Amino acid sequence: MNGAIVMVRPTAIDLFAGAGGMSLGFEQAGFDVVAALEVDPIHCAVHEYNFPDCPVICANVSEISGAEILRRAGVTEVDVLFGGPPCQGFSLMGKRLLDDPRNALVSDFIRLVGEIQPRYVVMENVKGMATGKQRQVLSEAIAALGAIGYEVVDPPQVLNAAHYGVPQYRERLFLLAYRQGETPPHYPLPTTHPAGKTRLKGELARLPASATVAEALQDLPKIEQYEALWRQDCVEANFGVPSQYGSILRGLAVDLGDYGYPRPVMENWLSNSGRSHHRDTSIERFRNTKPGEREPVSRFLRLHPQGVCNTLRAGTPSSRGAFTSPRPIHPQLPRCITVREAARLHSYPDWFRFHVTKWHGFRQIGNSVPPWLARAVASSVRESLGGAVERPQGECRLGDAGLLSLTMTQAAARYGVAADAIAPRRRL
């Protein structure tokens, strides 16, 4: 890393990397992410900006070998392979669901485990993979891992980001596996409970609450004060007094659990905060919606300042019109939240930037694992590896800001892939 002390850290490779939520969580847990594989050129460019020392491989997971990934990572072996292969999991009764073309990415994930032979494996997916028909996909995946010499920490666990300090109620399924002979890892225990939940029982009720929506957003500048944000996504702005949570994400307070490489802190720089045009009638409906309730026409939820955010979603793919997923309404202001406000509610630090367009920015957040949740899982795996990890000194540079505004055609050209690798956005 540029300007950082060289030290021996465990290594990891990120498959289905997206913008890098899990990459960041693993880095913060003390890993060096030595390669990131992602099929979407726009996501690749954003990942390259935030992790300029990590090789980004823009490729379809079904068209690349483990040997090629290791070669481009510059390593011969790796400690952890992690990622979240998309899974649809529906097929005819009695048919092996891993043979279903819609589940090919899960099969390719397991194929790459066999080819790369990491010491540990972390697979993340929707919580529905553990229920109904999709449970068969999970069972087949566990059996397939066993056939290539991996034990699974059974049963896989559904983890809620709000149980690890994130001010968002977001549940994801995690599967931990380890090569036979390695120390078994464990699923992380909760460290917080969702703020605003008052009827908790058992051990969870005795834990501190996660940050609230108000604590996550309280110091962010009001975008209404900056006309430039109609034309651009960033501006020099006046921040307020942050909460402890906000201080950590702004880089003003020490995060004792963060073993990542420090990035430059621009204290007065507000990014990913482009303003949205709302009709007067929408603004009035937003204003009349009480916190914690849904606006009756749009069905958008108005965030409760003393609670946590609902699950942030990515929106529809291009084949269905490329609509941005419904965004929550700000708890105090009559408008939808910005990309930066969504990033705060997802536990991304302020130095982490997304594509300049709101559509790409929101889908990059909605598709990603909250970094603090990924960090909790990665920290449990690192403990099984043994040994201490030192906190790096100095700063890691960030990439060229031009990467954040590339069009799909420009990004595809940068990574040498076809411009139609991802279907272009279209509106109905």
What is the separation of C-alpha 221 from the centre of its chain, rounded to a whole number of angstroms? 24
Q: What crossing angle do the helices spanning 371-385 and 21-28 adopt, rounded to 10°? A: 40
Told to judge if 87 belongs to the known catalytic residues of this protein, a careful annotator would answer yes
Q: Which of 171, 163, 196 is nearest to 307 (CA)?
A: 196
DSSP for 296-312, written as a single string: TTT-PBBPPTTS-BPPP
CA angle 200, 206, 211 (to 5 degrees): 80
CA distance 281 to 264: 42
The length of the chain is 428
CA distance 130 to 193: 22
Q: Residue holding tokens 């529905």?
A: 128
Q: Which of 44, 58, 87, 309 is catalytic?
A: 87
Count CA atoms within 13 Å of residue 178 on its CB side.
Answer: 15
DSSP for 210-234, written as a single string: PPPHHHHHTTSPPGGG-GGGGT-S-
3-class secondary structure, 19: coil
In the chain the first and final C-alpha atoms are separated, in Å, by 45
What residues have CB less than 8 Å from 181, skipping those under 6 apart?
none
Question: Residue 21 in contact with residue 47, Cβ under 8 Å?
Answer: no
Q: Say how many C-beta atoms besides its own lie within 10 A of residue 182's C-beta.
A: 16
Question: Residue 288 in contact with residue 58, Cβ under 8 Å?
Answer: no
What residues have CB less than 8 Å from 206, skipping those under 6 apart?
none
> What is the Rg, in whole angstroms, of the alpha carbon atoms belonging to the chain?
21
Alpha-carbon dihedral sign for residues 104, 108, 114, 117: negative
CA distance 215 to 167: 9
Active site amino acids: 87
